[in-house]
């Protein structure tokens, strides 16, 4: 998140120790620092990262290295928490950070710190949700957690949100359910014809998780427009309840790879 959002204060609040250096001035953290943390029986590695600013404002060589270190931490994470400051105006740059997390295929949680200083919390939350919906439609339903890291109030809501996103990031959908859904989705809204010829989507499967990644097979895969792929992704997210995680969808040319195979007894 941006400088001064309270990332180091949050980690101290979560682990119950003053492990991270904090202070009233922004930008104290210059390197990504890891902390081992145990929640119940689960061992977690937390990374406290340097604040990110608009690229045009990043001038010092040390700060450029800090930003590169932060981006590297995102790439090696499983779930990234983008921390915003509730007392500051939400900027497009803040949501660009969330977009980067999505591009890297990581689970995402939006956390808003200093919530105790907000006069109209419901209005601020509504505005943030609208901005997320408008600027990041590709990760609809991303969880938003509000709290005060300094007092600790509300921070207990963060870990359950992270665990749920991590679970969804690892999710797998049975092939039979996927193909029933594909049949229903194409019945409701067929792919646009290409050069006057219909585009038939014959089969789909999940090829991997972390994040959930799907392949749809069609003899004319390269002629399925981006808008229709977006329709399928939105349908997958809604039907199989996958908020807050990236969904990858690839169109592959070919027939049903399982057609003609004998079913196992």
Query: What is the CATH superfamily name and number for domain 175-253?
Result: K homology (KH) domain (3.30.300.20)
The residues near 89 (Cβ < 8 Å, ≥ 6 apart) are none
Q: Give how far the C-alpha of residue 238 lies from the chain's centroid of Cα atoms, to the nearest Å.
A: 15
Q: What is the pLDDT of residues 79-103, one digit of tens each?
A: 999 999 998 877 777 777 888 889 8
Q: What is the mean pLDDT of the chain?
A: 83
- Residues 204/145, Cβ–Cβ less than 8 Å: no
- Residues 100/73, Cβ–Cβ less than 8 Å: no
Residue with tokens 């399928």: 232
- In angstroms, the CA 218 to CA 59 distance is 49
Confidence (pLDDT) at 187: 94
Lowest mean pLDDT among 20-29, 90-99, 250-259: 20-29
Confidence (pLDDT) at 58: 40
Q: What fold does the segment set 7-169 form as a domain?
A: Rossmann fold (3.40.50)
195: its two tokens: 């050069």
Using left for φ > 0, alpha for ψ between -120 and 50, and beta otherwise, residue 154 falls in left
Q: What is the pLDDT of residues 114-162, one digit of tens each?
A: 999 999 999 999 988 888 888 888 888 899 999 999 999 999 999 999 9
Domain ranges of the chain: 7-169, 175-253
Q: What is the pLDDT of residues 191-238, one digit of tens each?
A: 988 888 888 999 999 999 999 999 999 988 888 999 999 999 999 999
Residue-wise DSSP of 56-121 = GG--SHHHHHHHHHHHHHHHT-SEEEEEEETTS---HHHHHHHHHHHHTT-EEEEEEE-GGG-S-H
Q: Model-level pTM?
A: 0.82
């Amino acid at each position: 998140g941006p400088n001064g959002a309270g990332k180091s204060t949050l980690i101290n609040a979560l682990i119950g120790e003053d492990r991270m250096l904090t202070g009233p001035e922004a930008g104290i953290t210059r390197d990504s620092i890891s902390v081992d943390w145990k929640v119940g029986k689960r061992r977690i590695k937390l990374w406290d990262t340097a604040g990110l600013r608009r690229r045009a404002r990043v001038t010092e060589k040390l700060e450029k290295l800090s930003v590169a270190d932060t981006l590297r931490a995102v790439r090696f994470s499983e779930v990234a928490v983008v921390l915003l400051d509730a007392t500051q105006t939400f900027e497009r740059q803040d949501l660009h950070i969330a977009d980067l997390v999505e591009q890297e295929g990581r689970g995402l949680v939006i956390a808003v710190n200093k919530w105790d200083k907000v006069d109209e919390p419901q209005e601020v939350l509504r505005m943030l949700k609208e901005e997320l919906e408008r600027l990041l439609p590709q990760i609809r339903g991303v969880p938003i957690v509000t709290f005060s890291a300094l007092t600790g109030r509300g921070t207990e809501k963060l870990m359950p949100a992270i665990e749920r996103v991590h679970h969804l990031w690892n999710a797998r959908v049975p092939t039979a359910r996927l193909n029933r859904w594909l049949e229903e989705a194409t019945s409701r809204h067929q792919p646009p014809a290409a050069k006057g010829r219909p585009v038939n989507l014959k089969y789909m499967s999940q090829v991997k998780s972390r994040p959930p990644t799907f392949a749809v097979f069609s003899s004319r895969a390269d002629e399925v427009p981006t808008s229709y792929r977006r329709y399928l992704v939105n349908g997958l997210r809604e039907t199989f309840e996958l908020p807050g995680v990236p969904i990858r969808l690839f169109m592959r040319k070919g027939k049903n790879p399982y057609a003609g195979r004998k079913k196992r007894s």
